[in-house]
Structure 1
Amino acid sequence: MTTSQGELLPGTRRALLHRIAVAQAEGRAPSLVAAVVRGGRTVWHGSRTSVDGHGPDENVQYRIGSITKTFTAVLVMRLRDEGLLDLGDPLEKHVSGTGAGEATVAELLAHTSGLAAESPAPWWERTSGGLRPEIADVLGEQPFLHPVGRRFHYSNPGYTLLGALVEKLRGAPWEEVLRREVLVPLGLDRTSVRQEAPHAGGWAVHPWADVMLPEPSEDLGRMAPAGQLWSTTGDLARFAVFLTNGDDRVLSAETVREMHMPAAPAGLGDLADGASYGLGLQVQHRDGRLLVGHSGSLPGFLANLTISVADDVAAVVLANCTSGPLLSVVGADLVRIVAEAEPGIPEPWRPMHEADSPSLELAGQWYWGTNGFALRLTADGLASLEPLSGTGRRSRFRANGDGTWTGLEGYFHGELLKAVRRPDGSVDHLDLGSFVFTRQPYDEGASVPGGVDPEGWRGIG
């Protein structure tokens, strides 16, 4: 069964269907369902085989495992934005007596806390959460395996601690806070901590025979903030829109962009080459594009959410099997198919409403030493600084209203750009985090640190 809103061309829709059909057949998944989002709305939905006797649509629940972590991270970022915590705070400042209090909030979010990947035996994903009523039962006697903050090591117990942090600062259970602050505002009516009909059953598929075994569906208890949730392609598509654009009822666009930024060292620990981890989001480069999102798994289920912000395309893929199709690859392929077959049409160029003279005076060509840069003012009220040719440091800047600008990305993220003026008011040079940009390479008329040789430029005699 495949439905579509008619937003994609027939060839693109067939390519998407072909990709999930291959994934379901070769991965031997009892069912696989997927959705593609573009421009803030679902533009394609497809599925293969059936769930409990009927075709899975955008309202059938699957367990989403560790995508739950991204929801928990959103709650933590809300606390930060409200001033109730700082990402650099050690956990002990807010939740005492855990035995892991030296790890900071940011380190827990980015899996650089040094905590173990799993809780002590028995296998928590197939064991009732009631066996671990206290945080100490989740962390065990030796919670740290690595030095705090030194490397990436994925930690499920780390997100149990973040759930406890949310509960402590909100004075309410994680489940209640999540529903009130995220699920209801975003209209995620089919996302819940326990399965609600219609939902898929979880299956284990025998590795050497085409037979299946039902998997138990456990309540994870204290581990819930790491992997408890059930959801649908419809709800996760709406969540993808939020993770792309933000929603001021939950998190601003600026905070969502902060979650996308790598916060763990790429290629170290158990990260694959070229991959990193942000604040509750996986970050990777694939097919020449930057992808953010999260994967999830619990016995009986696999899940993936992949977003290409630059292409404004996202994909959701869910399956009801313990192992089988590599959904992170499938999700990335669905994004690539749409982005390459039907690239987005740029918005028409429009001039800005007005430009103040002091800002306009800064536009044009500048030199950092002998490196040429162009500074442009754009209709969105930002300024961009980028190399005149080749690759190099580049950033957009937001005006602060006092003649200075703050970098929004890259090497200059957070750095201050300001025009240094002469006594007559004319611009001598630009100062960007102490870097001096002049109108000519080593302009002898500007205040260049170290001075300019009085004999000037020369050849070899």
Structure 2
Amino acid sequence: MTYSPEQLLPGTQRALLHRIATAQSEGRAPSLVAAVRRQGRTVWSGARSCVDGHAPDGDTQFRIGSLTKTFTAVLVLRLRDEGLLDLEDPLEKHLPGTGVGDVTIHQLLGHSAGLGAEAPAPWWERTPGTLRPELADVLGEQTRMHNPGQRHHYSNPGYTLLGALVEKVRGASWAQVLRREILEPLSMRRTGPHPQSPHAGGWAVHPWADVMLPEPAEDLGLMAPAGQLWSTTDDLLRFATLLTDGDDRVLRAASVKQMRVPSAPAEPGAWQVNYGLGLQVVRSGSRTLIGHTGSLPGFLAALWISVEDDVAAVALTNTTAGLMVGGFAADLVDIVAESEPRIPEPWRPLPEVDAELLALTGPWYWGTHSNVLRMAADGGLELKPLQGAGRGARFTAQSDGTWIGLDGYYAGETLRVVRNSDGSVHHLDLGSFVFTREPYDPAAAVPGGVDEGGWRGLER
């Protein structure tokens, strides 16, 4: 039977239609547009509106609020990949004079710098950015709420600083750098700092009556890198492909993966919600979703991706509150992933075999703990417990013949292959642990030695 990832089953399409209809109706949204991408292709889109014949489509712009932060984070990671900065650099090294220059770039990206959540009054999202012409006007007098690096505390001013950092290093405005380095390479022609027709107008819906009030759409000035952008479902699904697979024209896959790693401890009682580098990381049922939500007066937005399922969903609406757009977009991912689980690619053997690497595979023992070392399809190694859960990791080769852990318990740890004088493998050294071919092999360098009497039964 031929399978096409471009087509959803009628039952799945019906479930998606029902979900968007109930979301718009129960959330009392003036309009709502959503779309789903699977394996790099848009497989469904839908829209609802309170005005007959005026439902938005994939080309209609909405304001996306804090989803803008993910774009800013990509720009910063590009600077790191080019060697222009290090994420552990203090901000002062590249952007002096802010008064908070001791915080690191990594802390700003992950909202662990301890800065305030908002700019000083008046409410920055509903007033012109010209009221805050300098960074000091954005940070205010009380710049520190917490000690840097100790906890996650969401900070809009923190992303204003990151936007200023991009401008300082690149020598161009944040908007110019964004267009040149992300929007143009990804053909995101309908994304930008200002609306272009067709675009939705922002509305506030009264919480206790079915009446509406227009919301102002202010230019946020220096706060733009935290929430300025307008975009469409079509464009945001292109961006989702970058966040899933990486794109060497914009950001390599390894850096995209780094964005998904939680960067600070979760809030107490909120272990299902965390934050990487410009990306929210959440547990939704049995799935891990990465992406971001956004809100500005008159607009709500959400983009969620299940990398494991290769399914992404985006939802945009023009209401200040009432519709839980993040949960709605997560539901769209779940409907597609649950109704039509991803079809695995056919197994294929490796194109070539490294004989020395092949010789390392198989069982290895840390004391009496049974583990297995396998060759990965990407040329790396993978160490896992032979049974049940336990310590494990993927490893990538280094130029000096060692291997570095990429994840799990041994992330960042060095795996060394210790050889005999004739070149044969003696044992593996992993973060001071000795792995041998037999449990407590007496011929290996087991710390503490092995009892000379060897293995024995119970004496009677």
1:293 corresponds to which letter in structure 2? G
1:394-433, aligned counterparts within 5 Å?
394-400=392-398, 402-433=400-431
Of 49-58 and 314-323, the range deviating more from structure 2:
49-58
- Give the distance between the partners of 1:325 and 1:453, measured in 2 at CA: 67
2:115 corresponds to which letter in structure 1? L
- Give the distance between the partners of 2:194 and 2:52, measured in 1 at CA: 18
2:310 corresponds to which letter in structure 1? D
Aligned residues: percent identity? 67
1:439 aligns with 2:446: no
Of 240-249 and 405-414, the range deviating more from structure 2:
405-414
SS of corresponding position for 2:360: coil
- Give the distance between the partners of 1:6 and 1:86, measured in 2 at CA: 41
**Partner residue in 2 for 1:93:** 93
Q: Which residue, 244, 257, 278 being the options, matches 2:276?
A: 278
1:180 aligns with 2:180: yes
Instruction: Sort the Cα spacing of 1:272 and 1:379 in 2 relative to 1 into closer, same or farther, 3 A.
Output: closer
Of 191-200 and 280-289, the range deviating more from structure 2:
280-289
2:211 corresponds to which letter in structure 1? V
- Give the distance between the partners of 2:10 and 2:250, measured in 1 at CA: 36
**Partner residue in 1 for 2:35:** 35
Unmatched 5+ stretches in structure 1: none
1:125-204, aligned counterparts within 5 Å?
125-204=125-204
- Give the distance between the partners of 1:265 and 1:51, measured in 2 at CA: 45
Instruction: Sort the Cα spacing of 1:154 and 1:51 in 2 relative to 1 into closer, same or farther, 3 A.
Output: farther
Q: Deviations over 1:206-249 (max 9, x none)?
A: 00000000000000001000000000000000000000001101
**Partner residue in 2 for 1:392:** 390
Alpha-carbon deviation of 1:424? 2.2
- Give the distance between the partners of 2:407 and 2:414, measured in 1 at CA: 12
**Partner residue in 2 for 1:215:** 215
**Partner residue in 1 for 2:376:** 378
SS of corresponding position for 1:66: helix
Note if contact 1:51-1:201 (Cα within 8 Å) is conserved in structure 2: no
SS of corresponding position for 1:365: strand
Alpha-carbon deviation of 1:356? 1.9
- Give the distance between the partners of 2:376 and 2:88, measured in 1 at CA: 34
Instruction: Sort the Cα spacing of 1:401 and 1:358 in 2 relative to 1 into closer, same or farther, 3 A.
Output: farther
Alpha-carbon deviation of 1:393? 2.1
- Give the distance between the partners of 2:153 and 2:166, measured in 1 at CA: 22
Note if contact 1:260-1:279 (Cα within 8 Å) is conserved in structure 2: yes
Unmatched 5+ stretches in structure 2: none
1:84 corresponds to which letter in structure 2? L
Note if contact 2:151-2:266 (Cα within 8 Å) is conserved in structure 1: no
**Partner residue in 1 for 2:63:** 63
Alpha-carbon deviation of 1:324? 1.2
SS of corresponding position for 2:417: strand
**Partner residue in 1 for 2:265:** 265
- Give the distance between the partners of 1:117 and 1:459, measured in 2 at CA: 64
**Partner residue in 1 for 2:225:** 225
Note if contact 2:6-2:41 (Cα within 8 Å) is conserved in structure 1: no
Q: Which residue, 313, 332, 341 being the options, matches 2:330?
A: 332
- Give the distance between the partners of 1:433 and 1:42, measured in 2 at CA: 45
**Partner residue in 1 for 2:107:** 107
Q: Deviations over 1:301-339 (max 9, x none)?
A: 000010111111111011110001111111111111111
Alpha-carbon deviation of 1:276? 1.0
Of 168-177 and 413-422, the range deviating more from structure 2:
413-422
- Give the distance between the partners of 1:124 and 1:32, measured in 2 at CA: 25
SS of corresponding position for 1:361: helix
CA RMSD between the two structures: 1.5
Alpha-carbon deviation of 1:162? 0.3
- Give the distance between the partners of 2:377 and 2:89, measured in 1 at CA: 38
Q: Deviations over 1:358-390 (max 9, x none)?
A: 111101011112211111113332221111111
Instruction: Sort the Cα spacing of 1:390 and 1:267 in 2 relative to 1 into closer, same or farther, 3 A.
Output: farther
1:147 corresponds to which letter in structure 2? N
Q: Deviations over 1:67-91 (max 9, x none)?
A: 0000000000000111111100111
State how many pairs are aligned.
455
Structure 2 length-normalised TM: 0.96
Alpha-carbon deviation of 1:457? 2.6
**Partner residue in 1 for 2:251:** 251
Alpha-carbon deviation of 1:453? 1.7
- Give the distance between the partners of 1:227 and 1:25, measured in 2 at CA: 27
Note if contact 1:353-1:379 (Cα within 8 Å) is conserved in structure 2: no
- Give the distance between the partners of 1:41 and 1:149, measured in 2 at CA: 39
Alpha-carbon deviation of 1:391? 0.9
Structure 1 length-normalised TM: 0.96
Instruction: Sort the Cα spacing of 1:52 and 1:14 in 2 relative to 1 into closer, same or farther, 3 A.
Output: closer
Note if contact 1:350-1:379 (Cα within 8 Å) is conserved in structure 2: no
**Partner residue in 1 for 2:454:** 456
- Give the distance between the partners of 2:418 and 2:50, measured in 1 at CA: 67
**Partner residue in 2 for 1:355:** 353
1:72 corresponds to which letter in structure 2? T
Q: Deviations over 1:14-54 (max 9, x none)?
A: 11111111111111111111111111121111111257962
2:88 corresponds to which letter in structure 1? G
- Give the distance between the partners of 2:315 and 2:405, measured in 1 at CA: 36
2:292 corresponds to which letter in structure 1? H
Alpha-carbon deviation of 1:6? 5.5
**Partner residue in 1 for 2:206:** 206
**Partner residue in 2 for 1:17:** 17
